[in-house]
Amino acid sequence: MTSATTLRVLAAGDHFVLPSLIRAAIARELVCEVGELTLDWPLTPFGPVAEVAEASDAEDELIDALADTQVLVTQMGPVTERVLDACPELRLVVVCRGGPVNVNLDAAKRHDVRVCFAPGRNAAATAEFTVGLLLAALRRIPQAHDLLAGQGSWAGAAYYTYERAGLELEDLPVGLIGYGAVGGRVARVLGAFGARVMVYDPYVHGEIHGLRVASLDELLRRSRVITLHARLTPETRGLIGARELALLPPGAVVVNAARGPLLDEEALCDALEAGHLSAAALDTYAQEPLPSDSRLPGLADRVVLTPHLGGASRAVAEKAAHIAAEEVARWTRGEPLAHCLT
């Protein structure tokens, strides 16, 4: 902790959580010196950097900008052991995302650096996007648009035939796998549409919006649509594979706007090609960007694919900057931090 009048903060933002947003949010909380650094995400995809995951490849730039700085606020800055070694005055790192996967937490603890993050910043945006994906997949909206706008063809009218018409949400059995901040919002929205919402989440107790189902297998057998909302852990990696997809009724739809590795993409493609699944909508993938040999684009008549845009709303960037600024202010005042891991 240091006094606000001598505190130096680096706002290492990017083209989404702008440095200017971070600076403005901090200015509303306290008076301090704020430097700015703009990383190139999302124009350049994130990836592993040294020993951390999902970061911008900018160790050198970050080290230079952190000279004589006590606080770092960033979304994609690579807070590696090398960066921490080179920045002995750094005392606080606030990550503007739901988890600090771009920070070496063990090294931060050794360097006596506190690490905070911004949970819940994108829950509403991701929930809305999930419902949008679901509606697009059920009613073949992107495919009809591509035919009419891209090719000038009225052939999409074939989706009005009984054989090719989509499903509607009212009375549709929809299974949610995971019931956290995003899943709970999706459940409430789908309930408003009149869907029959079912939930499987062994870690959530208490009241939920929908019918709690005792096992994943039971949920799969009873759902015409499933949406994934689980956190990615060693236990949930590959949670939905060939065996699980086979339990879904014929013509089912799969939606994933959570984490790509929850779902076996090869098994999904097999089920789509075989006709067991009628559609899928994905915003996250096992490998991002989507590799050139992926089978998914070849199934464009049955899939909706977006490049990890679930959290891409202006409100998310503004919320993230606000949450981060509040943490900086708490630390400056010597108060307990709200979302701290080290």
Catalytic positions, please? Answer: 259, 288, 308
- Backbone region of residue 53 per phi and psi (left: phi > 0; alpha: psi in -120 to 50; beta: other values): beta
CB atoms within 10 A of CB 260: 18
Contacts of 314 (CB under 8 A, 6+ apart): none
CA distance 149 to 62: 44
CA 51 to chain centre: 21
The CA angle 304-244-294, to the nearest 5 degrees, is 40
